[in-house]
Amino acid sequence: MLPAYNTTNMEMTLAIMDAFEANGMPGVVQIAPTNVRLTGYDLIAGAVRAAARRYTVPMALHLDHGKTLDDVRLAVEAGFTSVMIDGASLPFEENVRFSRRAVDFCHTQGVSVEAELGAIRGKEDDHVSEADSRTDPSQVAEFVERTGCDLLAVSIGNVHGLEEEPHIDLDHLARIAAVCPCPLVLHGGSGIDHATIAAMAEHGMVKVNIASDLRRAFISAVHDAQEENPREVNLAAVLMRARRAVTEVARSTQLAINGISNEASNSNAAA
């Protein structure tokens, strides 16, 4: 299963890429428009392309939660390799039309599209959603056929952020997988037991989005540095510490959701 880790800045981006390389496993670097505002689409895409030359494992750059067609267009023009169009809050027919427009544009550019059916509760950056509309299996096949999406993000009790507790329904996922003609995506992977995420692979889940766990590691590392030395002004050292903290979390998470222990990974790397 591919982890898709949300980035915000250069240090987090490199930390995520460091983790993929250290594990020798491919993955996805992704960013939402709410975080793109710090850099712009061109800068983050250019940074990922330049950094990728240092690594050997395949890595993709994905737009997470594109809320407008302009978000999608700007990401594609900047060189993102895949996008998500988020019309989950819309009524079914509007979601179909909205997602189809994104697919029609992206497919002419050779870019794959993830769409979403079913709203997810929780806090995603500045956006707070109280909706909890689990994906309706009876709508899945029609939605995928009419939109032409390449992947489908689903709501099965997952939540965004760490302020609410997820309640994953694997039986509901199995019902969706039985009728869905494309691979599935899990949003809100932070806070979900890794064994539960790994079990989803049996039901067509190929990508899991994780943001809050990495952000918490970054912020905690900076906080700890400040606590240890309130007079610290070596920003590079503090940011390198945060980068290592994010890499550690990303590495262990990627291994865990694929059912690989850290010991086994280290043994393979040594061999």
Q: Which residues are catalytic?
A: 64
Question: What is the rounded distance in angstroms from the CA atom of residue 184 to the CA atom of residue 6?
Answer: 18
Q: How many CB atoms lie within 10 A of CB 256?
A: 17
116 burial class (0-12, 13-18, 19+ CB within 10 angstroms)?
buried
Question: What is the rounded distance in angstroms from the CA atom of residue 244 to the CA atom of residue 224?
Answer: 13
Helices vs. strands in the chain: H and E counts, helices first: 11, 11
From the centroid of its chain, how far is CA 74? 19
